[in-house]
Structure 1
Amino acid sequence: MFNAIVQVCGFLIIGAVVGVLARLLKPGKENISMGMTLVIGMAAALIAGVIASLIGVGSITELNFWGFLLAVVAAVVLLFAAESVGARKHPPVA
């Protein structure tokens, strides 16, 4: 039970770090909240863990260089996607 709690906490922390790094790496102004950035980072960490497991360079339950790198790339892609969806919902005011 304790091990599961530690893994979930680690996942949340790594997801937050990935989200913040992606936000720093992505050029331009961000039109989404910091909370949404953290959620995107956690989603990217999950996606990267699955991809790393599928290609055999890591596991979803371990932290390694390739998984972290994939998570940052996935987070940047998800940030672009989230902002494009948000831009369609709120067109610019002339």
Structure 2
Amino acid sequence: MEISGLISAVLIGFVIGAVGRFVVPGRQHIGILWTLVVGIAAALIGTALAMVLGVANTDGVDWAEWLIQIGLAALGVAALSRMDRLS
């Protein structure tokens, strides 16, 4: 992966993680680094899932892919926040 690809992954991961965190109601007890990690993972897994479902490459904005990624990020943020409260 080139440096531009890495920077893009981090930026997209940050946006996906932030939106996923915004979607989860209440206060989340995880830091910005975990939000970034969850966002990057959600972006990568969401893209793969969108490819399997056949909605990854469409004309215009890939809304279905974004919704999958944001949903996965919200699940990840909620899971990490819940794990932090349990420990």
Contact 2:50/2:64 (CA < 8 Å) preserved in 1? yes
Where do residues 41-60 of structure 1 align in structure 2 (5 Å cutoff)?
41-58=39-56
Contact 2:28/2:78 (CA < 8 Å) preserved in 1? no
Aligned-partner residue type, residue 16 of structure 1: F
Q: Which runs of 4 or more aligned residues in structure 1 lie more than 6 Å from their structure 2 counterparts after TM superposition? A: none
Matched position secondary structure for 1:18: helix
Cα deviation, residue 44, structure 1? 0.6
Q: With the length of structure 1 as denominator, give the TM-score of the two structures.
A: 0.78
Question: How many residues are treated as equivalent by the alignment?
Answer: 84
Cα distance change on mapping 1:12 and 1:58 into 2, 3 Å: same
1:85 partnered with 2:83: yes
**Unpaired segments of 5 or more residues in structure 1?**
90-94
Could you list the per-position Cα deviations for residues 44-73 of structure 1 after superposition, in whole angstroms to 9, with x for gaps in the alignment? 1011011011111116xxx73222111111
Could you list the per-position Cα deviations for residues 2-32 of structure 1 after superposition, in whole angstroms to 9, with x for gaps in the alignment? xx33222212111100111111121101111
Corresponding residue for residue 74 of structure 2: 76
Q: Highest relative contact order (Cα 8 Å, sep 6+), 1 or 2?
A: 2
Percent of aligned pairs with the same residue? 30
Partners of 1:80 and 1:24 lie apart in 2 by 11
For the aligned residue pairs, the C-alpha RMSD in angstroms reads 1.8
Matched position secondary structure for 1:57: coil
